[in-house]
Each structure stands twice: as structure tokens, then as C-alpha cells.
Structure 1
Amino acid sequence: MRYIALIFVLVLFSSPIFAKVDLVKVDKSDNKMYLLNNGKVIKEYQVAFGRNPKGHKEQEGDQKTPEGSYTLDYKKEDSSFYRAMHISYPNVQDNQNAKSKGFSAGGFIMVHGQRNWLGWFSSITQKYNWTNGCIALTNSEMDEFMDLVEIGTEIYIEW
């Protein structure tokens, strides 16, 4: 009996779901987000973006999700979109590019769940790009994401 319990514990804790996420990779062209550990995908999500997802976010209100390497730098438990984790956009380069064109780079880009009180609608909303430039998951996926991804994890977003 002891051996069965030991085998169960070893199998349970060697599962990829318990692996530390060291990179969140986002493929905007395929509406996918991947959680990786040492280059191996441990979780995949179907995600929604801003209404105008192609290309890098350049200014506030352009409905684009940024592209490039950023950091997930804090969690927000009192979000208007269930729960959220902030993406470190804009960086210095983003701000300089926007300033040179005479506008604001925008900000407050998050990985988040569904709008509060509308989580039940996610089977429809997740089929469309509906955010203002953020990355949306279902609420249950957001719970899992918040459990698996630590503050300080890199997020790489590409088309």
C-alpha cells in the first residue's frame, strides 16, 4: 500500500501542470497562448485580443495588442474583467515611438478574464477579438493562469 501511495505522489507531482512556467508565448495570428517550461508547452489556451490585432500596438485606442517581449509584473484581483495580470507595456521604446509620432502609447494592457457578470457568455465572446488590446481568457482559464504563472514571468507576443 505504501508503494502505491508513493507512486501516486510521484506521478501527481511530476505532471507538467505542476511545472514552473518560465515563459508565456502568445501567437496573435492563431489566437493562442502557450505556457512553457524549459521550452515545452505545458498548457495551451484559445484567447481573444483587441479588435484590430494585426501589428504592434503604437498608440492608445488603436485596439491592438502589443508585440514583443514584456514582463507580467503584477496581479489585479479587483479587475472589471474578473481577475487580471498586468503586462509591462509600454516599455521605453514603445513610449519613444509614440512620442515621436505625437501621441500616447497607451497602457494598462492585461491578461484578463471576462467582463464581470458576463463570464457565462465566454463560449461566444472567446470566438471574437473584443478587448481594447488586452488578452482575454475564460474565467476558469484565468484562475488556472493565475495559479501557474508567477509575477516576473516573461510574456512574448508575436503575430
Structure 2
Amino acid sequence: MRWLSMVLILVVAFGAAGCASKFKNYYGPKVTHVVVYKEQRKMHLLHHNTVLKSYDIDLGFAPEGHKQFEGDGRTPEGQYWIDRRNPNSAFYLSIGISYPNADDRAYAKSQGKSPGGDIFIHGQPELFKAGKDDWTAGCISVTNREMRDIYAMVKNGTQVWIYP
């Protein structure tokens, strides 16, 4: 009987551990838009005019100015949309920003260059060393704990405003 109790305890313990997940549920007000202030290194999730959550952020390794070309290390500025999700990101979890838009593509083409792409709001890689500021290739980064909340709260189609 004692042996059976120990087995049952182990099964329950392993079962509970298997339920741990990086995916959360969110039942609060809808996030209607995301606002990023690059200079202040802040990102806000809003329901209309009400700030639901605010986060400190890291940006591209060349944070000043609007992203124009592939590899420039800048984070875009302007109006975009959340257009995709990556639950298997190398940066924990990520949600895609619709950069480049038509204007971004046209400008880069006029200069004979690629505008780049793959701009995300994401967490941190597994072996991330704390204290590195503005380390991304143009993305917006938060902690993995914060990214779990953002991934649950922000849906595809959400408007994103990125200001200098």
C-alpha cells in the first residue's frame, strides 16, 4: 500500500510539472494598440486610452532613427500591425510587426537596397546575459516573463505605433 501511494504521488508530481507552460491566458480588456517610445525605452499596451501594462524595452543596436535597410540595426518608427506569432522563437516567444510597409519598401528600392524584415517584439534567448542594452537587430525585446503576458494579451491585427 505504501509503495502504491509513492507511485501515485510521483505520477501527480510529474503530471503537474508537465502542465507548466510558457503560454498564459488573458481575460482582461482587449489590447487595442501598442505604443513604443524608443527614446524612453518604454512600451505600453493600451485599451483605447487606458494603459493596461507598461514595459521597459531594449531596441536595435543602433536605436536612433527609423529602420531603412536590412542590417542597419535600427528599430522601425511609424504605424504597423501585429501580423504573426512565433511560439517556437529563438527568443522565447515573439509576435511579428508588419515592417516593412509599402513606404519602407519603396524607399529602400529607390536606394537600391533591401528594407529588411523579421521585426518582432520578443523575449530573450536562452543564454542571454543581463545588462546588455539595445542588443537586437532592430526588434523590441522584453524579459521572458513579460513576453508571456504580452503574447497572451496582444492579438494579431493589433495596431502598433513606434515613436522616436
Structure 2 unpaired stretches of 5+: 1-26
SS in 1 for 2:39: helix
Cα deviation for residue 118 of structure 1 reads 2.4
2:152 & 2:88 partners in 1: Cα distance? 16
1:40 & 1:148 partners in 2: Cα distance? 14
Cα deviation for residue 19 of structure 1 reads 1.2
**Which stretches of structure 1, 4 residues or more, deviate above 3 A after TM superposition?**
none
Matches within 5 A, 1:1-159: 18-115=28-125, 117-118=126-127, 121-122=129-130, 124-125=131-132, 128-159=133-164
SS in 2 for 1:18: coil
Structure 1 unpaired stretches of 5+: 1-16
* Structure number, greater radius of gyration: 2
Paired position in structure 2 for 1:4: none
Cα deviation for residue 81 of structure 1 reads 0.6
What do residues 101-149 of structure 1 show as CA deviations (whole Å, max 9, x unaligned)? 110000000000001x225x44x23xx1000000001000000001111
SS in 1 for 2:62: coil
Question: Comparing both structures, which one devotes a greater share of its residues to helix?
Answer: 1
Output the TM-score relative to the length of structure 2: 0.81
> How many pairs align?
138
Output the TM-score relative to the length of structure 1: 0.84
1:96 & 1:147 partners in 2: Cα distance? 33
